[in-house]
Amino acid sequence: MKNKNIKHCIWLILLLGVTVAQAQTIKSVQPDSLKSKNSLPANYVDEGFRTEQAWRNTGSVFTITGEDLARTTAGNLLNALHGRIPGLTVVSSHGEPGYDNPTLYVRGQSSWNIAGNQVVIFLDGFQVDMNALSALSTNEIETITLLKDAAALSIYGLNGGAGVLSVRTKEGTKTGKTKIEVSAKYGAMHTIALPKVMDAYGYVTAYNQALQNDGLPIKYYNPDLYKASDDPFHPNVNWYDKMLTNRSALQDYNISFRGGTDVARFYVLGGYTNFEGVYKDADIIDIDFGTNAKYRRLNLRANLDLQLNKNLSVKASVSGITEDRNTPSGFTAASVFSNLMKVPAAAFPVTNLDGSWGNSSVYNFNPVQLLRRNGIYNSHTRYLQTNVSFAQKLDALVTGLSLSGGISFSNVYTGVYDKKFAVAAYEITKDAYDNPVVDNNGNIVYKVVGKADESISDGGNSHWNRTSALFGFDYARSFGKNTFTGMLKATRSSYTHDGQTYAVVDQGLRGFVTYDYAKKYIADLSFSYHGSGDFESAHRYGLFPALGIGWIVSNEDFLKNNSVVNFLKLRASYGLTANTNESSRFLYERWASYTSNVYVLGTTDGTRNGRTEGAYANADFTWEAKQTANVGIDATLFKKLNATVDVFKEKRTDILEAPVGVPNYTGFNFRNTNSGEVVNKGFEVNLQFRDKVANSFEYNFGVYMAYAHNEITKKAENPQPYEYLYQKGYRIGQMRGLEYAGFYQVADFDASGNLNAGVVKSTYGQVKPGDLKYVDKNGDGLISDYDKVPMNFAKLPEITGGFNLGFKYKGLDFEAFVQGVMNRTVSLLDDAFDYTHPLASNNNITVFSNNPWTPEKASTATSPRLSTLVNNNNNQASDFWLRSGNFFKLRSVELGYTLPKVGFLKSFDNTRFYVIGNNLLGNEIEGLEPERLSMGYPLMKTVTFGVKAKF
């Protein structure tokens, strides 16, 4: 390497280091405009309704390949997107296989109604349901492109306001040869940071202390008995150990055939995926199937492209997927994990002396019993996604013109069956001194909890159908240095699903005209004229235009052949998009309203129903509109560094909300009106460096950072006495609370236990020493809701970032990717209440409360005094419960080896062995996993071994 390059490298490393330190985070991917792979013509970018050469694109888009997605081993494709796309925030749901759909946000949030998962998914140019994407195999994905700004989105009109993810599946090739690709993966999943609860001795001593604090007699007279061993009368059960295995297995096998000729091209994939849950010894009811959580999926896809004649091509694609999900019957994973934490180690034994199941009528949840002897719940889902399209060149009529159209039909159905084999459990009764009650014959007296029960039920739930069609013209022609491309298409879509009486329908015209001069100056005008059946007939259609302009500076003479700047494009866009909302339809209508059982009359107490005039219509009912401005730079420097920078500002208007302003004495009710406004601003930066040392050593590294900050600028709010009580001026979901000011101390109280004069009183209840004390913000001497001020950030992070690093040396390759988020605040009160609120309401006690307030530890205590009573004062939102939600995770680290082509291996194109680790490292918040605070089914770290062969 030349000295000059080394200097640049050092400079870059320093820059990146600083950025990474700020962002606490990391990640990989190549800059948008330069991404290119396989079937799309080189350097084309897929934008769903249109494809555009990357250099001509004026919008903010980001593309990731199926190969990159495969670096995360996940049963759910959406979870492979974690941190991979700048501007896409993936918020994890819990980790149960098959029930782990995350929530997606593009550039944060710009409406309180259009929250997560409103991102619209396009699969091969047609809209599909979010679930259809989650069930795809990474192997069948060519690219996934995120569309972020108006230049890319206005063509989507009413569907474009929350971003679009456009997915392309693989197509056949024209090589005349058929390539077979076989891949196999086997892996192990481990739970991340399970909550740590106290053992039986810790629990009973804490419980006694809490009773004393409450002025009550103690309950456990001989705590040491709980220390000794785990006998049924003084149990010491580690429920997590009894219930969960150390690791669970995942498998994933795929075979694909890809090939074709100039006339016909095909891609066929078959896949099998199986993710096991973490429950232990769950095969008692059914040795084959068991009650362990399980997610099993079969994928089939056939994509076919036919060139019928020189001018007419037809494309057909069929994807069928079945999913089987398995869980124990009668309760959700959320309640299993909530009870694993809530049932104290000292509560009851797993089994009694006589082998019967233990239980307690207080908890009524023996996790082990329920897992092994309650039943099986199985759900079966079928997906069918098909589309057929054609393109006919019409050069004979107008040079450069072609006609195309297509139709897509997709469908999902889920059916469930539920088999129950419940048995009773037996509670050991105890007297007031914690001794088992014995009858006259000397036998232990048991109380029966639950009963034997056997039943079977089945049914269908969620199903949906979506049909969409498009039809229109494409145009592309150059006149010397002037090149025009364009499109005009009519589209129509109908969507019916459970929960909607009336089909969700939309139709419209979409189009664009892109012009460039000498590959230097680009103007792109795109639009949609889009209507939805949700609105009144005169107000159904809206025009959503966008203008994008680009200047490829590097094609100017003064930069031609410049050794530093190889490529430089400046681009800017401005335009409109909008959203409809399935939960707010037909608001322009007014009907009579009906309430059942409003009053009781007659000596036999007959119920009467009520009717009245329904809420007044929102006469101006319309969509939530968004204006987006975006400025961006794409650059390649030194032929090694690719950089993309985007800065954006969005203004969301017409946000639906309940109106205020009409006096309530009128008795009027109103539908929600379009009146709220939010401004959302931010940027995305992505830098990727790639270089080769000699012939055999290639290395690359990169960093990205995405920032989005929203502010409510207009909201219908009732009058408040203090400015800080308004939501206006703050983030959507802004954390709020009382400001913690230490604990009430003994000195704050007089001899009879009343607060001394001058010490703030709480309106939330009578406080005692060791309760949380707060700052009296409004100075009225009382702690009330008026003292709750905005604090820190919201739960949705404002900053996400990533850092990636990789190298290749001969057959060896290595990639690592770290993701991080910042400006995120989590509330232990909201998200980990049971973990942080010991003993009251029969709760357990965890390590969070291992240093509670006592008079002796008044100055060093880290949690409020123990109590068996609910403490309303301590349970108020306050910064005592807030924690920085910042986290980083080593999302993936991968080491691979590609066999050299020698000997018999020559018949293989490529054979690669690899090992991938996902989420192996990360920080913790209060000892908990940072994304979900370890609540519910835990998130997993995985280690996967795989092999992929192509021949």
Partner 1 sequence: MKKYYSSIVIIVLATCSFVSCKKDFLNVKNIPADMPIDMMYKTYDYAQDVVWKTYSFLPDGYAWMDMEAATDDAYHTNVSNRSHIFNNGVWNQFNNPESVWNNYFDGIYQANLYLKHKGDVDLSYLANGIKNNDSTTYKRALTNLKLMEGECYFLKAFFYFELVKRYGGVPVIDQALEYDEASKWKGLPRNSVDECFKYIVSLCDKASVIIPDSVRTSSVTSWYESGRATNGAIKALKARALLYAASPLFKDAGSTLTWADAAAAANDVIKTNLYNLDGSYANLFGATNATSAEAIFFRRFGDQNWFEANNFPIVFEKSNGSSVTPSQNFVDEFEVKTGSTAAPFDWNNATHAANPYSNRDPRLAATVIYNTATFSGNTIQTYFGGNSGQPKLNATKTGYYLSKYVNPGVNLVTGTKTKHQWMYFRYAEILLDYAEAMYNAYGATSDPLGYGMTALQALNKVRARAGVAMPARTDVTQDFLMHERRVELGFEGHRYWDVRRWKMGNYFRQPLNRIEITLNGTSYTYAVKKLEDRVYDDKMNWYPIPQSEIINTGWTQNAGW
Using CB under 8 A as the binding rule, whether residue 592 contacts partner 1 is answered as yes
Residue number, 457 or 754, with CB nearest to partner 1: 754
Bridge partner residues of 180 (DSSP)? 257
Using CB under 8 A as the binding rule, whether residue 874 contacts partner 1 is answered as no
Phi/psi of residue 578, nearest 5 degrees: -160, 175
Residue number, 185 or 585, with CB nearest to partner 1: 585
Which ranges in 546-617 belong to alpha helices (H)? none
Using CB under 8 A as the binding rule, whether residue 600 contacts partner 1 is answered as yes
Range 261-300, binding partner 1 (CB under 8 A): none
Distances (CA, A) of 546 to 517, 579, 648: 20, 16, 14
Which amino acid, residue 514? T
Using CB under 8 A as the binding rule, whether residue 758 contacts partner 1 is answered as no
- Which of 576, 510, 711 is CA-nearest to residue 149? 576
Using CB under 8 A as the binding rule, whether residue 443 contacts partner 1 is answered as no
CA distance 19 to 8: 16
Residue number, 323 or 506, with CB nearest to partner 1: 506
Q: How far is the CB of 664 from partner 1 (least distance, A)?
A: 5
Stretch binding partner 1 (CB under 8 A), from 242-250, 695-703, 713-721, 904-912: 713-721
Range 295-334, binding partner 1 (CB under 8 A): 308-312
Stretch binding partner 1 (CB under 8 A), from 79-87, 325-333, 864-872, 893-901: 864-872
- CA-based max dimension of the chain: 107
Using CB under 8 A as the binding rule, whether residue 364 contacts partner 1 is answered as no
Stretch binding partner 1 (CB under 8 A), from 194-202, 270-278, 592-600, 910-918: 592-600
Range 778-817, binding partner 1 (CB under 8 A): 782, 784-786
Q: Is 370 exposed, middle or buried (0-12, 13-18, 19+ CB in 10 A)?
A: buried
Using CB under 8 A as the binding rule, whether residue 766 contacts partner 1 is answered as yes
Residue number, 320 or 405, with CB nearest to partner 1: 405
Residue number, 320 or 659, with CB nearest to partner 1: 659
CA distance 236 to 226: 6
Using CB under 8 A as the binding rule, whether residue 608 contacts partner 1 is answered as yes
Using CB under 8 A as the binding rule, whether residue 586 contacts partner 1 is answered as yes
* Cα angle 750-209-746, degrees, rounded to a multiple of 5: 20
Contact letters for partner 1, residues 200-239 (x by CB under 8 A): --------------xxxx----------------------
Query: Among 482, 609, 851, 862, which residue sits at the site for partner 1 (rule: CB under 8 A)?
Result: 609
Which amino acid, residue 714? K
Q: Is 420 exposed, middle or buried (0-12, 13-18, 19+ CB in 10 A)?
A: middle
Query: Among 39, 60, 245, 532, which residue sits at the site for partner 1 (rule: CB under 8 A)?
Result: 532
Q: How far is the CB of 451 from partner 1 (least distance, A)?
A: 16
Query: Among 443, 482, 862, 872, which residue sits at the site for partner 1 (rule: CB under 8 A)?
Result: 872
Using CB under 8 A as the binding rule, whether residue 746 contacts partner 1 is answered as no
Q: How far is the CB of 351 from partner 1 (least distance, A)?
A: 27
Eight-state DSSP code of residue 334: H
Residues contacting residue 923 through CB under 8 Å, at least 6 positions apart: 886, 887, 888, 930
Residue number, 537 or 860, with CB nearest to partner 1: 537
Using CB under 8 A as the binding rule, whether residue 757 contacts partner 1 is answered as no
Q: Name the strand (E) or helix (H) holding 411.
A: strand 401-422
Using CB under 8 A as the binding rule, whether residue 539 contacts partner 1 is answered as no
Dig out the tokens for 370 from the structure. 């329920």
Q: Centre a 10 Å sphere on the Cβ of residue 478 and count the other Cβ atoms it contains.
A: 11
* CA 64 from centroid of its chain's CA atoms: 18
- Which of 437, 421, 440 is CA-nearest to residue 429? 437
Stretch binding partner 1 (CB under 8 A), from 558-566, 612-620, 829-837, 905-913: 612-620
Using CB under 8 A as the binding rule, whether residue 433 contacts partner 1 is answered as no
Query: Among 320, 533, 733, 927, which residue sits at the site for partner 1 (rule: CB under 8 A)?
Result: 533
Contact letters for partner 1, residues 164-203 (x by CB under 8 A): ----------------------------------------
Using CB under 8 A as the binding rule, whether residue 394 contacts partner 1 is answered as yes
Q: How far is the CB of 472 from partner 1 (least distance, A)?
A: 9
Using CB under 8 A as the binding rule, whether residue 499 contacts partner 1 is answered as no
Helix and strand numbers, DSSP H then E, in the chain: 11, 43
Dihedral of alpha carbons 217, 437, 345, 831, sign:
negative
- Which of 240, 450, 286, 420 is CA-nearest to residue 357? 450
CA distance 693 to 695: 6
Bridge partner residues of 301 (DSSP)? 269, 319
Residue number, 718 or 859, with CB nearest to partner 1: 718
Strands 697-714 and 799-809: antiparallel
Distances (CA, A) of 478 to 473, 519, 556, 830: 17, 11, 20, 60
Stretch binding partner 1 (CB under 8 A), from 238-246, 339-347, 666-674, 816-824: 666-674
Q: How far is the CB of 334 from partner 1 (least distance, A)?
A: 25
Q: How far is the CB of 520 from partner 1 (least distance, A)?
A: 36
Using CB under 8 A as the binding rule, whether residue 611 contacts partner 1 is answered as yes
Q: How far is the CB of 914 from partner 1 (least distance, A)?
A: 46
Range 455-484, binding partner 1 (CB under 8 A): 469, 471
Residue number, 499 or 719, with CB nearest to partner 1: 719
Contact 347, 239 (CB under 8 A): no
Residue number, 116 or 533, with CB nearest to partner 1: 533
Q: Is 765 exposed, middle or buried (0-12, 13-18, 19+ CB in 10 A)?
A: middle
Contact 65, 45 (CB under 8 A): no
- In the block, which residue shows the tokens 């370890």? 934
